[in-house]
Amino acid sequence: MNRRLEKISKPLSGEIRLAGSKSISNRLLIIQALAKGDMNLYGLANADDTKVLLQALFTNEDTYDVHHAGTSYRFLCSYLCLQDDVQILTGSDRMKERPIGPLVDALRTLGADITYLEKEGYPPLRIGKANWKKAVETLTIDASISSQFISSLLLIAPHIPGGLQLRLEGNLVSRPYLEMTLNLMTDFGITYSWEDDMINISEQEYTAKDYEVEADWSAASYYFGLAALVPGSEIQLSGLHQNSIQGDQSIVEIMKSLGVESAFKNGVWHLKHIGNHQNEIEQEFLLQPDLAQTVSVVCAGLGVTALFSGLQTLKVKETDRILALQNELLKVQVYLSKLPSKFSKNPSKEYYLQEGKASSEEIPIFPTYKDHRMAMAFACLSAIMPVEIEEADVVSKSYPDFWEDYDSLTSANADFG
């Protein structure tokens, strides 16, 4: 289903009640499955990824197909190693292109029984009953590939005989997601230590208790984007915490430089377009990669020249998000280019320069590459021009109510003329 978005002609105002965080929900579901006793989770995400994981955890099937749900696949990969029966873990064609090798290698070192059914290093997997090796003193894993591999191991660590001593090797990506995992585990009674590159978790039990899921800061970023691009806008977002365990709360600080003032009052975040954005910004996304597309599109809409780094994990998401951004921004005369290493400020980083102000004589049509964040990020360009989003229902992966919420803000403010 394609969706045509008309240019927004008036300031946006209204309140959006955001659904629960997918990242928090998926971690809580693994904890719930491992905890002893009754445990109620309130406000779970209604995202496809969470629904898939919920179904997988409470099914008696021996084959698990998680479709495009990367987080669910990685968390289940470790969780199923704790089970006695042989299981098949598979997914979509795109999922079969996303590497799982580092996590499988780590689990095998611990004693897991995992076999590749097709291409070495990639899904699908056959997972049998593990023969845990208590003699493994320290497990080393490359922390520069995906924090989800590490979170997957951490979540089951209390149930591994002898616990887990994990050494993080290389440049750690998405640290806030690891901190989220450990904070949630602590909420359910797990103790741990993290010193330098070593995380230690002893064998112990999760304590079951009821939990209210915070709303999703990744979803909130699109409203910050709209507020930045539509002068006079004042938007309220409810369900978010003032001091969140989600790293994507950093959108608050990022958007200050792009003309959005925000404040937390009476349990609600208030966003206000104040203009006076910077003409040039530099942003590192290593800690919050899911914000990269939103910020890139907002910079394009404002004509802000941006220097981006920390984008390396974007290449192995639902699509190659760097290439997708490059392709689609070109349609509106904006250029995102990788800088040659000789121009880099830091040789250990890749830098991307984005230049140009979005403009188009024709209504641009943006394919989503089966990536929910492409759809929602490029919807922000409707602030300055009509746009068309292909396969718009892809947003169901993380935010099924996005278009309904978008319409609640924009339907009365669209320029149809």
Q: Which of 289, 293, 320 is nearest to 23 (CA)?
A: 289
Q: Which of 49, 216, 248, 290 is catalytic?
A: 290
Residue ranges and CATH numbers for the domains of the chain are 3-20+214-415 (3.65.10.10), 22-212 (3.65.10.10)
- Claim: this prediction has a pTM higher than 0.85: yes
Of the candidate ranges 63-72, 98-107, 110-119, the one whose mean pLDDT is the lowest: 63-72
Average pLDDT over residues 283-310: 95
26 vs 385: CA distance, rounded Å: 36
Residue-wise pLDDT for 5-40, tens only, equals 999 999 999 999 999 999 999 999 999 999 999 999
pLDDT of residue 413: 46
Residue 416: pLDDT band with limits 50, 70, 90: very low
What is the predicted pLDDT for the residue at 349? 83
Confirm if 371 and 318 have CB atoms less than 8 A apart: yes
Active site residue 93: no
Tokens of 47: 């995202």
Distance (Å, rounded) from C-alpha 93 to C-alpha 283? 33
Residue 383 has pLDDT above 90, yes or no: yes
What rounded mean pLDDT belongs to the chain?
92
The neighbouring-strand residues paired with 355 are 335
Q: Tens digit of pLDDT for each residue in 165-200? A: 999 998 887 788 999 999 999 999 999 999 999 999
Per cent of the chain over pLDDT 70 is: 96
